Amino acid sequence: MDPVANPFSPGAGSRPPELAGREDVVGAAEIALKRVIIGKSAQSQIFLGLRGTGKTVLLNEVLEIAEREGYIAAFIEAPENKSLTEMIYPAMRQVLRKLSGLEKAKYMATKGLKALRGFASAFKISLGDIEIGVEPDPGVADSGNLEVDLGEMFEAIGRAAKAADKGWVLLIDEVQYLETNELAAVIVAVHRMSQRNLPVMVFAGGLPQIAKLSGDAKSYAERLFVYPKIGALDEIAARDAILKPLAAENVQIESQAIERINEKTGGYPFFLQEWGHHAWNVADGSPIETDDIDLATKRALARLDEGFFRVRFDKLTNAEVEYVEAMASLGKGPYKVNDVAKVLQKQPKSLGPRRASIITKGMIYSPSYGEIDFTVPLFDDFLRRNKLW
């Protein structure tokens, strides 16, 4: 069928034609946003899930709802090799500048911009275009202690937003890349917002393995945040993800063909888009048949192997490749750390650093004590398909 009309959208963060099976998550986010902006309490949220499950898409959805509800929103992606302060600075500057344009918030926002000058110099952030006429406010947000200073910045922003009957929502993607102290600072800042009853919320998304917190940050994190699990879609939602976009184009699909797609994709959103995309392109017309899916599967796997899987594989060193291949040789995960060590004929302890480094790269995570699994769904199949060992 005409590729130009293809409704499916495989790709990182691309909005799906049908956001299937996420009504509860989106609904809960909407309620929380609506409550906080009218001065009621609600928990901030961290969406946790494997690669390609739709976390970024959900954060974008939250962003839209937030803007509709009167928030100013900022979207940042936690960088693998950069500091949080560098990423968050422009986001804070943007919200304060917007607020300073609103009569009711002008005074508080200008105070916030002064505090931001202090913050920038405390964390050695190079100011692209220096705020003209804004002098720093010594003693505010400039101690160099991130927990304290970020809290003071959030407070300044929250007060300015409140003065204008607005809110601020900060969206942080790839939150697993934050350093422990950075995540702790965000959490402590959110705590401060809830204590002061200020309209600031954080929504984040990341891999299940996020930094281990301790002390105050840990106890706040448990109370102030919820962690919706973003997983594969159930059968009904997975069916919707394919059927609805097709129906909108007046295209039918055989029910066996849908079943085949479900079976091949495991209901993972990214794979559903990929299979839907190829199924559309290979089919002659409506209805899409089961044979079409067989050809689509070949194409989808070829493309995933060259792209989605390959780019991740290429981040690994040879020793790390050896480790993940040992995992895949055991079949489906999760895998016992000890079993992987046996395959490699090494002591589990001696493999600790290697494992840790693969975890830091976001390729594997520990679903429970003594166990590991891939963060990329079907990565084990990829390794076995391209068996190099």
In the complex, least distance from residue 77 CB atom to Mg ion, rounded to whole angstroms: 8
AA letter at 165: D
Q: Which is nearer to Mg ion, 56 or 273 (CB)?
A: 56
| 19 interacts with, out of Mg ion, ligand ATP, none, CB within 5 to 8 A per kind | ligand ATP
**Residue 48 Cβ, how far from Mg ion at the closest point, in Å?**
12
Distance in Å, CB of 314 to Mg ion, minimum: 19
Mapped onto helix, strand or coil, the DSSP state of residue 77 is strand
Partners of 171 in beta bridges: 75, 203
Distance CA 149, CA 136 (A): 14
323: partner contacted, choices Mg ion, ligand ATP, none (Cβ within 5-8 A by kind) = none
Three-class SS state of 177: helix
Query: Which of Mg ion, ligand ATP, none does residue 11 bind (CB under 5 to 8 Å by kind)?
Result: ligand ATP
In the chain, the amino acid numbered 372 is I
> Smallest distance from the beta carbon of 15 to ligand ATP, in angstroms?
6
Q: Which is nearer to ligand ATP, 168 or 271 (CB)?
A: 271
* Least distance (Å) between residue 270 CB and Mg ion: 10
Q: Which residues bind ligand ATP (CB under 6 A)?
A: 9-14, 16, 18-22, 49, 51-57, 241, 269-270, 272-273
Residues present in the chain in total:
389
**Residue 51 partner contact from Mg ion, ligand ATP, none using kind-dependent CB cut-offs of 5 to 8 Å:** ligand ATP
Nearer to Mg ion, 56 or 110 (CB): 56
Q: In this complex, which beta carbon is closest to Mg ion, that of residue 14 or of residue 181?
A: 14
What is the longest distance spanned by two Cα atoms in the chain?
Answer: 70
- Cα gap 31→28, rounded to integer Å: 5
Residues 64 and 277: their CA atoms lie apart, in Å, by 26
CB closer to ligand ATP, 13 vs 287: 13
Six-digit token pair at 41? 């309490």
Give least dist CB 274 to Mg ion, A: 15
- Binding site partner of 277, from ligand ATP, Mg ion, none, Cβ cut-off 5-8 A by kind: none
Q: Which residue ranges make up the site for Mg ion (CB under 5 A)?
A: 56
User: Cα(127)–Cα(145) distance, rounded to whole angstroms?
Assistant: 20
Distances (CA, A) of 234 to 77, 88, 238, 267, 387: 28, 36, 6, 6, 30
Structure tokens at 16: 């799906």
Give 9 or 366: the residue with its C-beta nearer to ligand ATP.
9
**DSSP-derived secondary structure for 15-35:** PPSS-TT-HHHHHHHHHHHHH
Using CB atoms, what's the residue nearest to ligand ATP?
54
